[in-house]
Every structure is written in C-alpha cells, then in structure tokens.
Amino acid sequence: MDETRIYKDHDVGDECFLSGHESDDSDWSIGCKQRYWLEIVKQLAYLGIVVVLTTRNETRGKDVITKLNQKRVNRSKLIDCFVKINNAGTSCVEVDREGLKALYVDPATWLSGKVDSTLFQGVITETYRSAEECLNTNYYGVKRVTMALLPLLQLSSGKARIVNLSSLRGELKRIPNERLRNELRAVEELSEEKIDATVKKFLSDLKGNALEANGWGMMLPAYSISKASINVYTRVLAKKNPDMLVNCVHPGFVSTDLNWHKGTMTVDQGASGPVMLALLPDEGPTGCYFDCTELAEFKG
C-alpha cells in the first residue's frame, strides 16, 4: 500500500473526520477531497473555523482550494496541508455498471435499507481482497488516524470532538446472527480487541464462503461490518476518553457514488449532521449515534 504521512506513517481512509481546539479562538479539522467531505469543509469554513485540508497529492489539494474559492469560502480560514493518503475506497465491491443500469430500485426502498441482496446477484460481487481493503479503510484506517491525532486533540483547552461517519448499513439489527448482535451491543464488555476479533472472524468466514451460514448480513457485507465496527469503536473510544466528545453519525440518504446517486438528500443537507457534532458545546453528548442531526439508538 502507498505510504501515508501524518506525523508518522499511517494507512488511512476517507471515513474519519476530526475537529479540535488549540486555543479559545483557533479550531482545526481534517477532511478529504470527496465531494461530500468538501461540503463539510466548506460549511466549517463559512462558520469561521480554521480548516486543515488533507488530500492525496498537491494537485488535488490545489483543485480543492480552487473549488472552495469559487464558492467564496473565506480563504483565510483554510490551511493547505497536502497529505498523501491511500484511499482504498468505501464500499469495495466490484460493480457491473451496465447490469446495474438494468435494475431499478425506488428511493423509498433504498432509504428503508430493505433492498433484497438477491436483487444484485451477478451485478455486485465482493472478493476477499476488496473486503479486506474496505475494512482496512473504513475501520482500521479510522483507528490509525485517530490514534495519530489523539495527542493533538488532548491539547484542547476545551473538549475535543471526534466525529465518525456511519451508515444505516451499520445498524446491528442488520446482522442475522443474534449472538454476534448481543456481543456488539454489550458496551460495558466491549474492547478494541473484541471488535478486531469480530472483523477477523468476518474475513475468515468470507474466505471460507461461510458468511450466510454463520449469520452475517449479505447486502454489502464488508461495508456493513465496517460501519457496525466503527459504531462500536466510537462507544469504546468515548469510554476511554471522557474528556472528549466522540460520536458517530449516519448523514442521511445522501446522493453519492456509493448509492449510484439514488440518494434523496444533497451533499449540503448531508453535511449538517457531522458539522453539528463537530461544533457541539462542551456539555454535549458523547458515545452516541446520530441519524442526521437527531440522537438515535444503536439499533440492535
């Protein structure tokens, strides 16, 4: 994998968003180039937050600055920090796009999360390698970049914020295996080691073609487990860091490449949840899951 440098070498994905305070009047955040993240950066800059931009290379970084300038974002609120990031992707499935065009799933069904996985047989396939990349990006990558930045967040004069992007696919109720659901639901007994063991078990079952037999969800399985793992990791991290506000958020059914632009929300609407959580007051909630801007349950 390509080398990533943020103070040390880290392989990171694009699913982690962090903000903190260095002083009473200086804020910083980490984002990335994707259109959705660009909207988050834009909204924070509009609100007067000093934003540190990270991109995979200098050319991409300059392109982002140009786009933000075109949107009249306050240039003084942006700090160019061109960091090379290996982005393994988010859904990590191989898609027969022509075959997909022949399918039609109405937005209401997408929104409900009740799309029948058999609908996509022969159109979407998931390999062990792509699943491994997905989890390395969406789960392990988030952990690595969080650990790299925790020492900086701990310098905050107030409570630093960590916001992890989640998804409806990460809700525990979507895992058929009741024993596994119960294990991931028992927050007082959870640890990073237990989450890692769950991820390894998933990959082992995928390799052995035993996902369905062992009760894993079959709709975007690796993506779903990566998001379920991030939800649980958020709760563990919040418990370990009571001096911070650590939350995760499902941004809504935003129209992106991931859902083949079936989404019913614009990127600016989808950015409202993460931005709200990044700017929580110090007495705000922690260890919680939000659906857009509303506090929700870790449904199991």
Query: Which residues are tagged catalytic?
Result: 223
Stated length of the chain: 300
Two structure tokens written together for 230 = 């991030």
User: How is residue 117 annotated by DSSP?
Assistant: G
Dihedral of alpha carbons 252, 54, 137, 181, sign: negative
In 10 A of CB 54, how many CB atoms? 25
Considering only CA atoms, which of 146, 164, 112, 170 is closest in space to residue 273? Answer: 164
- DSSP β-ladder status, 5-6 and 8-9: antiparallel
Q: What are phi and psi of 171, to 5 degrees?
A: -70, 135
Beta strands in the chain (DSSP E): 5-6, 8-9, 16-23, 26-30, 51-53, 78-80, 94-95, 124-125, 161-165, 245-250, 288-291, 294-296
Burial 278-287 (b: 16+ CB within 10 A, else e): bbbeeeeebb
Name the residue among 142, 192, 190 with its Cα closest to residue 165.
Answer: 142
Residue 71 DSSP label: T
How far apart CA 272 and CA 250 sit, in angstroms, is 11
What residues have CB less than 8 Å from 97, skipping those under 6 apart?
Answer: none
